[in-house]
């Protein structure tokens, strides 16, 4: 990964998923935004960024690009991401939500073959407080520190960060892996990244109903992770027969345990792995302090 203020960043598309305020915030945070890509608008300026028709044109003018932030229509995400990968961009943040699952399957096969990190879709991206913002995280909720956050949610990620900030616990890295049915990087990958990160002392994992990624994360934490991990599962009171729109679409499969994907099943997995679980976001700082001490 290259998550430094010197990292060169471009934006592909200026769809509904990103606004002028997000771009202004990234620039103000020190993110090295160099250009936008929007076919048909090459040669223009948008949000004070030079706009190109193709990613390869940006690379030709500015040299190697570290990160692409994709904000195009969901059905255009695959083409945009493949274009970025073809230009040797190895970090891709997909802000757009609702990407077709088969498109994501194709993208992830290509990303794995090219050793490309994909965050999202349906994600606000990554923030390294005090250093770089790649996406739409509201930076005012964050402060530099040593608590890593990995989440499936968007707004709940900010709430957890704010609770930590109010308690005097800064954050090292905060990432939302995305809440579409199929996403790029997983809880397991980010747990490993944060466990190996010298600036991270404790990890907060934020999950929600749908799928089985939290259960897999709980087993991985018990078997592999050395640093203290605190979990929080949203949607505990969600009706058992209902699934969250984004994350539950792959969860209703004939033959699976009827509790698959439920908040209760995830809570049980963390309990078995002896991972402390906060009952509400405001309890997270207290559990983090206990884990560190």
Residue-wise pLDDT tens digits, 152-180: 999 999 999 999 999 999 999 999 999 89
Can you give the pLDDT at residue 261?
Answer: 82
pTM for the predicted model, two decimal places: 0.93
Domains for the chain: give ranges and CATH numbers.
8-119 (3.40.50.720), 138-292 (3.40.50.261)
Question: At residue 239, does pLDDT exceed 50?
Answer: yes
Question: At residue 285, does pLDDT exceed 70?
Answer: yes
Q: What is the mean pLDDT of residues 32-60?
A: 95
Question: At residue 269, does pLDDT exceed 80?
Answer: yes
Spatial strand order of the sheet with 229-233 comes to: 132-135, 125-128, 171-176, 144-151, 202-207, 229-233, 277-278
Among 49-53, 102-106, 219-223, 238-242, the minimum mean pLDDT is found in: 238-242
């Amino acid at each position: 990964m290259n998550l430094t203020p010197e990292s060169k960043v471009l934006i592909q598309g200026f769809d509904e998923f990103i606004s002028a305020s997000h771009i202004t915030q990234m620039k103000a945070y020190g993110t090295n935004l160099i250009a936008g890509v929007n076919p048909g608008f090459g040669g223009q300026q948008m949000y004070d960024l030079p706009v190109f028709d193709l990613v390869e044109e940006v690379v030709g003018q500015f040299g190697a690009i570290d990160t692409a932030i994709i904000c195009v229509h969901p059905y255009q995400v695959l083409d945009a991401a493949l274009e970025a990968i073809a230009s040797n961009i190895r970090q891709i943040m997909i802000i757009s939500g609702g990407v077709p699952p088969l498109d994501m399957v194709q993208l992830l096969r290509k990303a794995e073959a090219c050793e490309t990190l994909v965050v999202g879709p349906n994600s606000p991206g990554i923030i390294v407080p005090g250093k770089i913002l790649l996406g739409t995280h509201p930076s005012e909720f964050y402060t530099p520190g040593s608590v890593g956050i990995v989440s499936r949610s968007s707004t709940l990620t900010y709430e957890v960060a704010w609770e930590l900030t109010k308690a005097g616990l800064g954050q090292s890295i905060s990432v939302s892996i995305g809440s579409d049915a199929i996403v790029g990087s997983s809880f397991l990958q980010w747990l490993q990244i944060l466990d190996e990160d010298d600036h991270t002392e404790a990890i907060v994992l934020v999950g929600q109903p749908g799928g089985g990624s939290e259960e897999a994360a709980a087993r991985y934490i018990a078997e592999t992770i050395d640093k203290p991990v605190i979990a929080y599962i949203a949607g505990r009171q969600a009706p058992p027969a209902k699934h969250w729109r984004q994350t539950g679409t792959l969860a209703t499969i004939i033959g699976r345990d009827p509790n698959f994907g439920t908040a209760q099943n995830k809570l049980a997995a963390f309990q078995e792995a002896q991972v402390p679980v906060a009952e509400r976001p405001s309890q997270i700082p207290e559990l983090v302090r206990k884990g560190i001490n």
